[in-house]
Structure 1
Amino acid sequence: MPENHDHQSGAEPSTERLHTGSDQRSSEPERDVERTTRIPPVPAADEGTQRIQPTAEPESDAERTAQIAALPTDFSNFPIGETQAIPQVAGGWSAAVPPQSPAQRKKRGLIRAGIAAGAAVGVLALLYVGDLALTSGTVPRGTVVAGVAIGGMEPAAAESALKAELGPGLDQPVQLQVADRSTTINPADAGLQMDWSATVAEAGEQPLNPFTRIASLFSTREVAPVSHGDRDQLVQALEQTRPQLDREPAEGTIRFEGAEPVAVEPVTGQFIDVQRATDEVLTHWAEDGPVQVPFTEKPVSTTADGVQRALREIAQPAVKSPVTVRGEGKNATLAPEAIAAALRFEPGVEGGLKANIDLPSVIGAVEPQLADTIKPGKDAEIVLEGGRPVVKPSTDGIGVNWDKSFERLMDVLRAPQNRSVQAVYEHQPAKFTTEQADKMGIKEVVGEFTTGGFEPASGVNIRRTAEQVNGAIIKPGETFSLNGHTGPRGTAQGYVESGIIQDGRPGRAVGGGISQFATTLYNASYFAGMQDVEHKAHSYYISRYPAGREATVFQSPSGASIIDVKFKNVSKSGILITTTWTPSSITVKLWGTKQFEVSSQTGERTNPTQPHEKVVPPGEPCSPSKGSPGFTVTDTRTIRDITTGQTRNETQRTRYEPQPIIHCGAPPA
C-alpha cells in the first residue's frame, strides 16, 4: 500500500473533507481523474489527535479506493473534549462529531422522554375535555339499575327506560327468601311504590376524576332502585310471613319405621329480623330474584355426628333381636317393634343423644302376655243398695313391680346376647281398704239439689258428666274439683254439641249444658256445709237457677281448666257423691255423717240496669229476645254445727248484667 504522509506546516493543520463519487465538490478545482485518498490507521488514545490529509499526488483515472482502518468498538478511550475526525465510509461522508459522556447521553434521553410524555398528556387532555363535553348532563357511564343499563342516557330517557323495563312487573308478588324457606307479599298490601326520578338521581352526575371515567368504559356500577313505602304497613306485612319463614329449632333424634331406626338430623332455628328485613325489602323489592331476608339463627345442642353415633351404638343394637321377659311359669316377648315404640331420645353430651324407655309402652306390650301370672287387687267401694250406702270389700293382689323388672332394660338392649330380664313379683295391697271404707262414716244424705228444664242435646252432656262424677269419694280435708275429676270434656270423652245463645246469635258448642250440672253440684255442696273454694256465677241471670246461688264451668279447647267448681270436705266423715239423671232433671246427693244444718236467705234484687237493644243484620243467624234487666243480689248461708252448736253466716254478692233486647233484621219503628 502507499505510505501515509502527514502534511506539516507552521500553521494549525486543517481537516480536509473526503469525497468519493459524491455530487459535492471542494472549493478548489479538481482534475478529471479522481484522487485516491489514503487514510491512516486510527492511532491509540495516547498518540494525540491525528488529522487526515489527502496526498498531493495525482491519482489515476481509475476509481479512487478509500482505504479505511477498522473503527474501534469501544469508544471509551476516545479523548473527551477534543474533536476526533471520523473517516468517510462506504461511499458516504462524516463530519467530525464530539463524543458524549454517559451523563450527557442520559440528559438527552430524559429530554426526549419529556417531550413524548408532554405530547401524550396533551392528547389525553384533549380527549378528557371532549368526553366531558359529550357526556355532560347524562347518567354516568356503566350505571345499571335492577339489570337495566341507563348509563349515558339523559335523565328523562333513563326514567322512561326504567319504567318500560321494570314497571310492568312491579305489581307482581315479591318473593322473600330465608335459607330454604320462601313466601311472597303483595306490593300494594305492603305499601311499596317506586320513585323513578329519585332512582335516576341516586346514580349521581358524571364523575370528574379521569381515572374513574376511564374505568367506567370497562365496568358497571349497580344502583339500587329507590322506592317509598309505609314502613309500619310493610312491617305488618312481614310479621304475617313469620309462619312461612320462621322455623323453630329441632334437635336431632332417631325415629323408627317399624323396627328400622332412621336418623333425623338436627335443624337450627331461624327467625326473621323484621326491622332489617324492612330495609332490605325497601331496597331490593323491584330487582329480579327473591329478596334475601335477614334472620337470626337459634342453635341446637345435637349434631349430625352425634345422631349417627346414637344410631350405631344405641338404636340399631336395641332392635336387633327381641328381649325375653321371664315370668313365674310363663315368659313374655318384647318384640323389636315394641322396643322401637318404647324408645325415647333426648339431647345428650357432646352433641349426641341419650336414650330412655317409656315404661307404660313396655308394660302395655308385656303385661297381657303375663296376665295369667298376675292377680289384680281391688279397692273397697261404697255403693247404694236398697237406697243406702253399702261397703264392697277390698281385695289384695299379686302383681309385677315393673320399675324393678325393667331397671336394667337399657343395658340389655345394648347387649348382642343374653337379651332377657326377670319379672319381679310382689304383694299389692288395695289402696282403699275395707277398713278405711268402714271408717268413712258414709251412711246418710248430708246435702242434695235438683234442677231441670234442659234440651235433649244438653241432657246428653249432663248425663255424661253425672256418670263420671257418680261414686266419687272425698276424704275429710280433701278438695273436690269438677274439671279435675272429669278431665277434658270433648267428643272423645262422649260429649256432643248442643245449642248455645251468645248475644242473640245461636251457635253450637261441644259440652253445652255442663253448667247446669255445675249449678246442681254447687247447691248440693252448699247445703251439705262444704267450704266453697271456687265458683263463678253466669254473666246473665238464668231463671231456672236460684239467683245468687248458681255456677258455670269452662275449659279451654285443650282441656285446661278456666272456670271450675271446687269445694272442700270440712266434715269429720267422708263424702260420697251420687247422681241421678232423667231426661228432664238431674239430682246430685252428698252422703256422709250429718254434721251441719244449713239454711239460705236470698236478698232483694237491687241496682236494676235496663238492657240495651241490639240488631242482628238481616240474613245472619238470629234468636230474638225481649231481654231482661240486670241486677245485684246477695245470698246469706247460715251454718250450724250440730255437734258443737256453733253458728256462722256467709254472705256473697252477685252482679248480673242485663240481657240485651235482640232484633232480627231492622228494629221496629
Structure 2
Amino acid sequence: DLNTTLVKQFLNVPLAARTGWTVTPAAAQAALSAAVTRTGRVNGPVTVTLPVALTAPVRSVRWAAGQRLTHLGGGESNFNGSPDFRVHNIRVGAARLHGQWTAPGGTLDFNALTGPVSAARGFRPGYVLAGGSLRLEDGGGICQVSTTLFRAALRAGLPIPERHAHSVQVAYYGQPGLDAAVYAGSKNLRVRNDTGAPLLVQFRWDTRAGTLRADLFGRNDGRTVRVEGAPMSRVQMAPGPAFVRAPDLARGETRRIDMPAPGGVTLITRTVTRPGQATRTDRFRSEYRPWGGVIAVPPGDPRG
C-alpha cells in the first residue's frame, strides 16, 4: 500500500545515512548451488552465505559535519479541524519533500519534487469548488505543505523567485501574507539555495495537534533576517455565502464547506543582511478578494 508505506517511512523519522547493500540473483544462485553440492542435501534446511556488495552513503554524519551544515530556519502551520482526506494529503505531500537535497546554486522546485498529484501517487480525492458546484479532485491540502515550506525559506533568508498568494484568505493559514499557493502548470513555489553548500529539507507533523513544520538545513554564512508584516489595507467585507449542491446531503441538511473571509491587500517585507554584502529587501505582496464562504445544500434546494 503506497499510502501506508509513505506514512511509515517518513512519519517524524529523522533522516539518517544508511549503508546500502546489493545481492545479485546470479551470485545468490551460485552460492546456493555450491552449498547444496558441498552438503549433498537437496531437501531440508541448508545454510547459505550470500555475497553482499556494500555501498557507503554519499552523505553521512561525518560528511554533513564537514559541510558545516546547521539549522537555517523553520516554518509552522496549523491544519487542526481538517477533514481526513486533507490530513492524508498533507502527510503524503510533506513526505515527498522530506529529505530532499538541493545543490549549491540550485533551485528547490516544489511542483517538480512533489510530482503528479494523483491517486496513483498516493493522494486522496476531496471536495473542491469548481464551476459553482462541488467535485472530487486529488490532492486537496497540498498548499498547506507549500505554505509551511515558504515560511521556512522566508525565515532562512533564502531567495524565493516564485511564490503565489491564494486568491482568498484561507482560515488554516492564520496571518495573511504568509501563504503559498501551488497548482501544477500554473502556480509553483521555488526557493534558491545561495548558501554555498547543500540544502536539506525536513518535515514533521502531529496529526493530533494538527501541526506541520518544515526545517531547512545548510551552511550558515552569518546572514540575519528580519520579517515584518503590514496591516491589511483596502479591506472589503465578506459577502454572503455561495451555495453548492452536494449529492450526499438529505433534504433539509446543510454543510459548511469553507469559511468566509474579508478581502484586502497585505505586504510582507523581509530584510536580509549578509556580512560584507549589501542588504537585500524582498517584498511579498498578497491580494485577496472578499469571500463569502461556501455552504453545501442537497439536490433540489433552490439555493444550490
1:593 maps onto 2:225 in alignment: no
**Counterparts of 1:481 and 1:615, CA distance in 2:** 35
- Cα deviation code 1:452-508 (max 9, x no counterpart): 223321111111122221111112101011111121121111111123345874443
1:125-136 → structure 2 map (5 Å cutoff): none
Instruction: After TM superposition, list the pairs within 5 Å mapping 1:167-178 onto structure 2.
Output: none
- Matching residue's letter, 1:591: F
Match of 1:441 among 45, 58, 68: 68
Asked if 2 retains the 8 angstrom alpha-carbon contact of 1:578 and 1:589, the reply is yes
- 5+ long unaligned stretches in structure 1: 1-385, 399-428, 556-560
2:166 counterpart residue number: 538
Q: Which residue of 1 aligns with 2:46?
A: none
Find the structure with the greater CA-based Rg: 1
1:578 to 199, 202, 205: 202
- 1:355-370 correspondence to structure 2 within 5 Å: none
Once the two structures are superposed, residues 182-212 of structure 1 have per-residue CA deviations (whole angstroms, 9 ceiling, x without a partner) of xxxxxxxxxxxxxxxxxxxxxxxxxxxxxxx
Q: State the Cα deviation string for residues 334-380 of structure 1 (Å, max 9, x = none).
A: xxxxxxxxxxxxxxxxxxxxxxxxxxxxxxxxxxxxxxxxxxxxxxx
The match for 1:554 among 174, 183, 207 is 183
Aligned length: 248
| Cα distance in 1 between the residues matched to 2:244 and 2:119 | 32
Instruction: State the Cα RMSD in Å.
Output: 3.7
Per the alignment, residue 630 of structure 1 pairs with 263
Give the counterpart letter for 1:599 in structure 2. R
Partners of 2:282 and 2:140 in 1: CA distance: 31
2:35 matched residue in structure 1: none
**Aligned partner of 1:455: which letter?**
P
CA-to-aligned-CA distance 1:416-464 (integer Å, 9 cap, x gap):
xxxxxxxxxxxxx98946686554332x211111112233211111111
CA deviation after TM superposition for structure 1 residue 613, in Å: 4.0
Closer/same/farther in 2, CA of residues 460 and 433 from structure 1, 3 Å limit: closer
- Counterpart CA distance in 1 for 2:246 and 2:68 is 60
CA shift digits 1:272-330 (9 cap, x unpaired): xxxxxxxxxxxxxxxxxxxxxxxxxxxxxxxxxxxxxxxxxxxxxxxxxxxxxxxxxxx
Equivalent position SS for 2:145: helix
**Is contact 1:481–1:564 with CA below 8 Å preserved after alignment?**
yes
Q: Is 2:284 the partner of 1:652? A: yes
Counterpart-to-counterpart distance in 2, 1:588 and 1:648: 24
Query: Per-residue displacement from partner, 1:137-185 (whole Å, max 9, x unpaired)?
Result: xxxxxxxxxxxxxxxxxxxxxxxxxxxxxxxxxxxxxxxxxxxxxxxxx
Counterpart-to-counterpart distance in 1, 2:202 and 2:159: 19
Q: Is the 8 A contact 2:171 2:259 kept in 1?
A: no
Secondary structure of the 2:226 match is strand
Contact 1:580 1:588 in 2 (8 A): yes
Alpha-carbon separation, structure 2, partners of 1:520 and 1:563? 16
Q: Which has the higher helix share?
A: 1
* TM-score (normalizing by structure 2): 0.68
Give the alignment of 1:425-436 within 5 angstroms.
432=58
1:603 aligns to 2:235 (yes or no): no
Letter of the aligned partner of 2:206 in structure 1?
T
Which amino acid letter does the alignment assign opposite residue 190 of structure 2?
K
The 1-side partners of 2:279 and 2:122 are apart by: 43
Greater per-residue strand proportion: 2
Say which SS state the counterpart of residue 634 (structure 1) adopts. Answer: strand
* TM-aligned CA deviation for residue 585 of structure 1: 1.6
Distance 1:661 1:430 in 2: 54
Instruction: Name the SS of the counterpart of 1:465 in structure 2.
Output: helix
Of 625, 639, 646, which residue of structure 1 is paired with 2:272?
639
Q: Please give the alpha-carbon distance, in whole angstroms, between the structure 1 residues aligned to 2:245 and 2:267.
A: 40
What's the offset of the Cα at 1:543?
A: 2.8
1: CA distance between counterparts of 2:287 and 2:246? 34
Matched, 1:466 2:99: no
* Residue deviations 1:120-146 (CA, integer Å, cap 9, x gap): xxxxxxxxxxxxxxxxxxxxxxxxxxx
Counterparts of 1:475 and 1:451, CA distance in 2 = 26
Q: Check the 8 A contact 2:101/2:198 in 1, yes or no.
A: yes
The 1:543/1:613 distance shift into structure 2, 3 A limit, reads closer
Distance change (3 Å), C-alpha of 1:479 and 1:392: same
Give the % identical residues: 22
Q: Once the 2 structures are TM-superposed, how far is the Cα of residue 608 of structure 1 from its aligned partner?
A: 1.9
Distance 2:293 2:115 in 1: 36
- Given candidates 116, 119, 125, the residue that maps to 1:497 is 125
CA distance in 1, matches of 2:22, 2:217: 27
- The residue type equivalent to 1:523 in the other structure is R
Structure 1 residues 617 and 471: alpha-carbon distance in aligned structure 2, compared to 1, 3 A threshold: closer
Within 2, Cα distance between the matches of 1:505 and 1:626?
A: 16
List runs of 5+ in structure 2 lacking aligned partners.
Answer: 1-12, 25-54
Q: Name the CA distance, whole Å, in 1 between partners of 2:154 and 2:238.
A: 31
How many angstroms apart in 1 are the aligned matches of 2:18 and 2:128? 42
Is the contact between residue 441 and residue 574 of structure 1 (CA under 8 Å) also seen in structure 2?
no
Q: How does 1:208-287 map to 2 (within 5 A)?
A: none
Flag the structure with more relative contact order, 1 or 2, with Cα contacts below 8 A and sequence separation at least 6. Answer: 2
Q: Find the aligned partners of 2:238 and 2:139 in 1 and give their Cα distance.
A: 28
| TM-aligned CA deviation for residue 568 of structure 1 | 0.5
2:267 & 2:142 partners in 1: Cα distance? Answer: 24
